[in-house]
């Protein structure tokens, strides 16, 4: 075959689909009429040009021909471009959700765009996503709804507010046998500071993460990382069709040399316990503070060695949300690392939107994992 990916155009929006995906999607459209899926018929499929970049893509072992993988790469890239545009252009305003966490125009716009893309590509698939339209509908802040619609309209020119609400609410909190999970802006606080944030998307089947993808606009000039179970963890640039490079965790076995990562926000962790753990393990350098699953990307590319998500003393019963962990966990595993909860248990993605069976997270290059768990048992 001359190409692995082809590009479908609808208005200004570009979604990468793979040969065969259109036929399958059309079939689904016939079986399950869906107004969004109908739009597939207007897509104009074109083969990607045969360039050296294309050959680089073909030289990888990741199966970009696979509809779900092609979808994750294309839809995430498009969503990340939208997030970047909003971070560049808009004054950073945030609304406050019921749980007191911030949410921005970008969270809503990215979830709307991805909700729409998923409805078009896989109309039957469930999406478990962080946001819902209630906060946006209910905000007394003037102009926020318009900003969300205008942002989405950059990709979907005729988008209306009602459609945007519907696309956001394509993501609910009910999971199932097969579902996607999305954090439209993971690290909203980092996004507001102009620091690290990611768009995180994962496909979970029978409780196992099968695809984990992180778009990291502010990491290393902007990267997109995709892990596929059994096919490794790969990185490409967000800015253009570059080749994919395989990622591998570090080989660091010496705790004294370990580069530790933790949340930027002190209230998302336990700083006192972190100090005690570092002493027990023998880590000498202070941890790098970073928002979001960008930390998992850093670990997977081998520029960090160990990461703790400890329970804040203020929230001892905090349970992780699946959209904060699913994509990152496969990224770590497929790069050769290890990820468990603080008790050494595997993360269980089969029990709903919260990881109720797990406490916190420890992730490592594998070599340092046992030392980390041993220190946790003592501290």
Query: Per CB under 6 A, does 212 bind ligand AMP?
Result: no
Which partner, ligand AMP, Mg ion, none, binds residue 343 by CB below 5 to 8 Å per kind?
none
Computed on alpha carbons and rounded to an integer, the radius of gyration of the chain in Å comes to 20
Q: Show contacts with ligand AMP in window 267-326 (CB under 6 A).
A: 267-268, 291-292, 312, 315, 318, 321, 324
CB of 293 to Mg ion, least distance (A): 8
Provide CB contacts within 8 A for 375, sequence distance 6+. Answer: 277, 280, 281
Catalytic residue among 29, 104, 107, 305: 107
The residue (of 41 and 173) whose beta carbon lies closer to ligand AMP is: 173
- Binding mask 305-324 toward Mg ion (x if CB under 5 A, else -) reads -------------------x
Instruction: Write out the chain in H/E/C secondary structure.
Output: CCCCCEEEEECCEEEEECCCHHHHHHHHHHHCCCHHHHHHHHCEEEECCCCHHHHHHHCCCCCCCCHHHHHHHHHHHHHHHHHHHHHHHCCCCCEECCCCCEECHHHHHHHHHHHHHHHHHCCCCEEEECCCHHHHHHCCCCCHHHHHHHHHHCCCCCCCHHHHHHHHCCEECCCCCEEEEEEEEECHHHHHHCCCCEEEEEEEECCEEEEEEEEECCCCCCEEEEEECCCEEEEEECCCCCCCEECCCCCCCCHHHCCEEEECCHHHCCHHHHHHHHHHHCCCCCCEEECCCHHHHHHHCCCCCEEEECCCCCCCCCCCEHHHHHHHHHHHHHCCCEEECCCCCCCCCCCCCECCCCCCEEEECCCCHHHHHHHHHHC
Q: Show contacts with ligand AMP in window 169-208 (CB under 6 A).
A: 186-187
Query: Per CB under 5 A, does 107 bind Mg ion?
Result: no
Size, binding site for ligand AMP by CB under 6 A: 14
Judged by CB under 6 A, the stretch of 174-182, 259-267, 272-280, 362-370 that binds ligand AMP is 259-267
CB of 323 to ligand AMP, least distance (A): 8
Q: Which of 22, 68, 131, 186 binds Mg ion (CB under 5 A)?
A: 186
Catalytic residue among 29, 104, 181, 188: 188
42 counts as catalytic: no
CB of 38 to ligand AMP, least distance (A): 34
107 counts as catalytic: yes
CB of 190 to ligand AMP, least distance (A): 6
The residue (of 22 and 186) whose beta carbon lies closer to Mg ion is: 186
Which partner, Mg ion, ligand AMP, none, binds residue 174 by CB below 5 to 8 Å per kind?
none
CB atoms inside a 10 Å sphere around CB 170: 22
Q: Which of 131, 183, 301, 333 binds Mg ion (CB under 5 A)?
A: 183
Judged by CB under 6 A, the stretch of 40-48, 66-74, 241-249, 265-273 that binds ligand AMP is 265-273
Which partner, ligand AMP, Mg ion, none, binds residue 312 by CB below 5 to 8 Å per kind?
ligand AMP
Q: What residues are labeled active site?
A: 107, 188
- Contact positions vs ligand AMP (CB under 6 A): 186-187, 263-265, 267-268, 291-292, 312, 315, 318, 321, 324
């Amino acid at each position: 075959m001359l190409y692995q990916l082809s590009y479908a155009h609808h208005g200004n929006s570009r979604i990468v689909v793979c040969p065969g995906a259109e036929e399958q999607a059309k079939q689904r459209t016939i079986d399950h009429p869906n107004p969004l899926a109908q739009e597939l018929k207007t897509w104009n499929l074109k083969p990607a040009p045969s360039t050296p970049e294309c050959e680089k893509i073909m030289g990888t072992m990741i199966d970009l021909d696979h509809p779900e993988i092609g979808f994750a790469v294309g839809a995430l890239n498009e969503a990340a471009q939208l997030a970047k545009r909003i971070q560049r252009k808009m004054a950073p305003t945030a609304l406050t959700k019921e749980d007191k966490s911030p949410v921005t125009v970008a969270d809503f716009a990215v979830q709307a765009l991805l909700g729409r893309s998923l409805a078009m590509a896989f109309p039957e698939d469930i999406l478990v996503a962080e946001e819902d339209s209630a906060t946006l509908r209910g905000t007394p802040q003037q102009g926020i709804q318009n900003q969300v619609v205008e942002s989405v309209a950059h990709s979907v020119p005729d988008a209306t507010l009602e459609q945007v609400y519907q696309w956001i609410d394509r993501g609910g909190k009910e999971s199932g046998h097969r579902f996607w999970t999305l954090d439209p802006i993971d690290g909203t606080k980092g996004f507001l500071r102009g620091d690290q944030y990611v768009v995180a998307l994962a496909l979970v089947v029978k409780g196992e993460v099968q695809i984990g993808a992180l778009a990291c606009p502010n990491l290393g000039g902007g990267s997109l990382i995709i892990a596929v179970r059994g096919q490794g963890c790969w990185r490409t640039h967000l800015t253009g069709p570059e080749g994919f490079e395989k990622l591998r965790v570090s080989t660091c076995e010496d705790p004294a040399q370990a580069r530790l990562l933790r949340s930027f926000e002190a209230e998302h962790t336990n700083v006192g316990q972190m100090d005690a753990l570092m002493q027990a393990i023998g880590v000498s350098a202070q941890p790098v503070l970073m928002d979001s699953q960008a930390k998992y990307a850093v670990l997977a590319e081998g520029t960090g060695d160990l990461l703790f998500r400890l329970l804040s003393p203020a929230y001892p019963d905090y349970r992780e949300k699946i959209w904060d962990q699913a994509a990152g966990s496969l990224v770590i595993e497929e790069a050769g690392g290890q990820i468990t909860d603080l008790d050494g248990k595997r993360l269980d993605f089969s029990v709903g939107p919260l990881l109720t069976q797990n406490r916190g997270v420890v992730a490592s290059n594998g070599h340092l994992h046992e030392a980390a768990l041993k220190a946790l048992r003592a501290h």
